[in-house]
Structure 1
Amino acid sequence: MQLNNSKVINAWCMYDWANSVYSLVITSAIFPIYYNAVTTGVDGSDRVDFFGLEISNSVLYSYSLSFSFLFVAAILPILSGIADYSGKKKFLMKLFVYLGSFSCMGLYFFTGDNIEWAILCSVLASIGYSGSLVFYDAFLPEIATEDRFDKISAKGYSLGYIGSVILLIVNLVMIEMFDVFWFEDKGTATRFAFLLVGVWWLAFSQITFLRLPDNVHNLKPKNNVFTEGYKELKKVWYAVKEERMTKLFLLAFFFYNMGVQTVMYLAATFGSKELQLDSAKLILTVLIIQLVAIGGAYLFAHISNLKGNKFSLLLMVFIWIFVCLGAYFVYSENEFFLLAFVVGLVMGGIQSLSRSTFAKLIPENTIDNASYFSFYDVTYNLSIVVGTFCYGIIDQITNSMRNSTLALMLFFAVGMGFLILLKLPKSSKLEPKKA
C-alpha cells in the first residue's frame, strides 16, 4: 500500500471527528451534568440506589468508568493478536464502533429512575469507544511515514475537537430552545442529544471505513485465529520486554495519563459539586478546553519538531502538575475558567504527541501494529481504571473532590520521573534534527 496517501490519511483523521463527540458530549459535558441532575434528590441528596446498593452518584459513575476500561484492558490484547494474524483490524474496529454508537443512542431512554440502564449504556459506550481506538491507532504506522506521525496525529485530534464542538453547540441550542424544536422540556431535548451523538459517531465513521484498507499485509489465516492470535500477542510481548525505551515510555504514559484522562472525565463533576457552577458555566468550561486544545495539539507538535518528543512531553507534564495543584485552590468561577484554558492547552498536545511517539517506537517494517498498540491501549485503559478509581475512592472517604486532585498531581510527578529516565537514540526522529 502507498504511504502518505492524502485521501487515506484524511479518512483516518475523520475517525477522530466521528468519535470525539462521545468524549465531549457523553463523558465530559452534557451527560455528566444531566446524570448529576436527574440522580440528585429534591432534598439535595446525591445518594442513589443501584441494584439495592446505596452509593453516591458521582462515586458510582467513577466506578462504572473504571470497570469499563478494566474490561477493555482484559479483552483487547487477545483481540489485537487475532487482528494482526487474521488481518481483521477494520472489521474489529467496526464492531466496537457499532457497540459504542448504539449504546449512546440507548441513553435516550435514561430518565433518572432507571439508573441501572444508564450505567449499562454508559459502560458499553465506553467499551465501544476505547475498544475501537486500539485498532484505529494501529493504522497510523501503516498509512504514513514516521516523519509525519506527529502532524497527522495532531490533525486527527484537532478535527476531533472541532467536530465535537460543532455538535455540542448544536445540542446546546436545541436544549436551550427546546420548544422551538418541538420538545416537551429540556430533559427530553437533552436525551435527544445523546441520540444525535450515536448517529454522528456511526455516520462519520463510515468515511474512515470507506478509505482504510481491509488488510494491509494480506495475511491469510491458516490455523485457529484464537490460538494464532495469542501467539502473535506473545511474540510482541517478548519483543516489548527487550525494548527498554518502549517499557520506560509505557510506564511514564501510564502515570501521566491517569491524570489527563481523569481530569477529562470528571472536570464537569468537579465544577458542579465543588464550585456549584450551573450547567451553562460548566458547558462554557468544556468549550474553552476543546477550542484551546485545537491550537495546543499543533503547538506541541511544532515544539516537538524543534526540541524533540521527550522535551515536549516533559514540558506538558510539568504544566499538568501545576494544573492539579491549582485545582485544589480554585474557589471562583474565573479561576476555574483560567484553569480550563491551561488544561485545554496541554490536553490536546499530550494526547496527540503520546500517540505519535509510541507509533515511532514500533520497529520498522513490523506487521504487528495492532498487537504493539494493544500494549499502548491497555496501558491507556488501565491508567484510567486506576485514576478514576483513586479519584472516586478518595472522594468517598474524604467527601471532597479537591483532595483527589492532589493524588492526580502525584501521578503526573511519577510520570515525569520516568520520562526523565527515557533516553532516546540519536538516530530516531523522536529527537530533534541537528542544524
Structure 2
Amino acid sequence: MLFNHLKPDRFPDVIVRAASERDVPAAVELARSQGLRIAVRSGGHSWCGSPLRDRGMLIDLSGLRRSDIDAASATATVQPSVTGRDLIAELAPYGLAFPAGHCGSVALGGYLLSGGLGWNSPALGPACVSVRQIEAVTANGEVLTCSTEENPDLFWAARGAGPGFFAVVTSFRLGLYPLPAAVATTTYAFPLAELGPVTQWATEAATGLPATVELSYVLQTASPEMSAASPRPKVAVVAATAFADSREEAVRALEPLRTCPLADRALCRQLDEPTSFEALYETSEAMWPAHHRSAVDTLWSDADYGTLLAPLADAIADAPSDKTLVLAPVTPVSPEKARMHDVAFSVLGSSYVAPFAIWGDPAADDVNVRWLRDAMHAVEPLGTGHYVAEADLTADVSRARRSFAPADWERLRALKARYDPENVFHSYLQPA
C-alpha cells in the first residue's frame, strides 16, 4: 500500500479496491453501515503513511487510472491514480503540459489534494490552482460535482487539505498549459564547506532568473559523476531547470547562473544542458529510489538560505546513510499565484527545506529517523510552518495545524464538522 518501505505499524480491518468510480459510494455506505472509519489511498506515496490507519476501511483507488484529454479546451479529466509521469507522457503528443510532481510515480490524487509543488510551479503556481472541477463522494455517500460555482467550500478544501480531506475525490478536471519546447539544466556541485558563499552567490543570481526557472539547493553525498573520490564527499549542489519555448530562450533564462565567481571551487559543473521531462524523472528516481526506507519532513521559513541551510549542512555531514539529502527549492511556488486563488493550500514562508533520510537496512531505522528528528530540531526555531504533503505528521501534534494559515485551519475544521459530522473519514495522523 505504500511506496516507502518503512511501514507504519497500523492495519485497517478491510481494504476495498475500487474497480470503478461507482464502487466508491458503495464502499462509503458499507463503511457507515459497519461503523468503520475511512482512509483513502491513490498511489501510496505518502512518506509518513497517512493512508494506513488502525482499524476501519482503506479505500484503495489504485485501479482508477483513466485520463481523458480535451486538446481543444486544453483540459483533462483524470482519475486519482494517474501518475504524473503518465500524464506528462499522454499530454506531450497534444503539445500540452501540467505541473505534475517531481517524482514520476506520485499519483495525482494525493498530490493535488495536498497542493502540489511540481515541475514549473514557480511559474504556474501550485498544481491545485489548475484544478477546475472535481467529483467527490461525501461521508453520506452522496456524489457531488465541486467547482468555484458548485459546492465551492468543498472545492476550496480539496485544493490543499491533503490527507485530512473529508471526502473521496474520484476525478479531477485540470486546466493544461503549452508544452515547453525546450528544457535545459545548469548544475554546479561544490564541497559542502563552500555552502556559505555558494548560497550567497546563487540566491543573488536567482533574482535575475525568470519564473520559468526552478532553482534548488541540494545537500547530499556526491554522485559518481560529481566526484571519483572514495569515499565520495558531501556536496552542496546548485541545480536549475529552465522551461522555455525554444532552446535559445532556455539558454537565455539560465544566463544569470553562467558566470559564477566560485567556479574554480566547483567539483563539477554543467551549463545549459538540454534535457527532457523523461530525463528529469530519471534523475528524480536516482535521488528518491524505490524499494528504500525513508523519513521526511518539511519546513517553511522566512530566514535566508544561508542561515537556514547552515545547521542542515552540519546534519548532512553526519548523516548515517549516503543516500540521505536535503532539498531546498528557491521560491518553490509563486506566492502571488497561490494567493490569486481561493484554495486551502497555504504558502507559509519565503524559503523552504525538506530533509529526506533514505536508507535500506531495517536495522538502521532508529538511527535514521533520529537523524531526521535531530536535523529538524536544529532548524525548527527558524520555521513558520510545514508543507502537509511531505510533513512528518507523526513527529508532533502541531504538524498538521502548522501546515495551514490559522484562518485556513479553522475553516477546514468547520467544513469537516459540516460535511463529516459523524467523523466517518480519518483526519490527519495527529490533529492538534
Per the TM superposition, whether the score is higher than 0.5 is no
TM-score (norm 1): 0.25
Q: Which has the higher helix share?
A: 1
Structure with bigger RCO (C-alpha 8 Å, 6+ apart): 1
More strand by share: 2
